[in-house]
Amino acid sequence: MRIIGGTFRSRQLKSSSKMSLRPTSDRLRETLFNVIATRVPDSRFLDLFAGSGAVGIEAISRGSREAVFVESHAAAAQLIRANLELLGIVREARILPVDARKALEKLAAEKGSTFDLIFLDPPYAAAADYERVLEYLGGSPLVEGDSLVIVEHRRNFDLSPAYGTLARVRILRQGDASLSFYRCSPGGLPAGRDS
């Protein structure tokens, strides 16, 4: 696994063959960050079901001022910390080693808790995690104004077009994976048809 762009471009990240992680592919990560490129600098980025932390670390590399990593598996949370230390970006990051829903409730209780970009990538088999997290975000203070929520999922997995205040504005398909983009207000996302 490598960082695709930004300050740490081409740097390799640590991974573990002992964990059953399904990291976002380099190609899909590159496509994602090409789409959201103008939104990343100085953003607050939330990486849910973070795995190795590659997506949130990519955001920091491209100028995010802060990334919060939520990962309930202790070994994966340790891997995120090791990758942050490897790059010397511990101060720009925060790791919450708890269940995604508990992390969202904790973050929502904090002052100034809105995120500009939220990425979630639960295990493909955990269909219930998609629904419970998106339903929570659709009524949460974590998303407001021009916040953008991006969901990685299996290409043939249908998500709802809306969750509370969140409405899907785009689906981008690549190989066996898809990215669904949700936002609660217009503006900021490059126009584009499903691909």
**Whether the predicted pLDDT of 191 surpasses 50:** no
Q: State how far the Cα of 29 lies from the Cα of 57, in Å rounded to an integer.
A: 11
- Rg of the chain over all Cα atoms, to the nearest angstrom: 15
In degrees rounded to 5, what are phi and psi of residue 135? -65, -40
Which token pair is 176?
């066996």
**Whether the predicted pLDDT of 190 surpasses 70:** no
Strand order in the sheet with 117-120: 93-96, 66-70, 44-48, 117-120, 148-154, 177-183, 166-174, 162-163
| Predicted local distance difference test score (pLDDT) of residue 17 | 59
The answer to whether residues 2 and 11 touch, using CB atoms and an 8 Å cutoff, is yes
The CATH fold of domain 26-183: Rossmann fold (3.40.50)
The tens digit of pLDDT for each residue in 45-88 reads 999 999 989 999 999 999 999 999 999 999 999 999 999 999 99
**Whether the predicted pLDDT of 179 surpasses 90:** yes
The tens digit of pLDDT for each residue in 79-133 reads 999 999 999 999 889 999 999 999 999 999 998 889 999 999 998 778 899 999 9
| Predicted local distance difference test score (pLDDT) of residue 5 | 87
What's the first-to-final CA gap in the chain, in angstroms? 25
